[in-house]
Structure 1
């Protein structure tokens, strides 16, 4: 699991993935712990293999579209 590999939460891995795809991310939380987690995504980078693995996951309907 990527979250274990990078010692980050799943949400942090997803935020980092979006940032590396150059998607503007505006995370929201009312919990201070999660707000801090949202900021702690700039101290690691997902490898090319991990980006490919995420891309190959099953796709449902979502809010991100290729442009």
Structure 2
């Protein structure tokens, strides 16, 4: 499973980082950094919550 980020939609709020800090990080410029494009199996539930919780729908899963 892979994470797809739509940078045009992302506002850098950081909800994803708070839900899955091992996969997402908001840098000093307020830009989201995806630390692992391929979702580690141990983080799947956290990443799913981050995708669902993104208020701008900037995150999606790709098989």
TM-score by length of 1: 0.27
Larger RCO (CA under 8 A, 6+ residues apart): 2
Structure with a larger share of its residues in helix: 1
- Structure with more of its chain in strand, by fraction: 2
Larger radius of gyration: 1
User: TM-score, normalising length from structure 2?
Assistant: 0.28
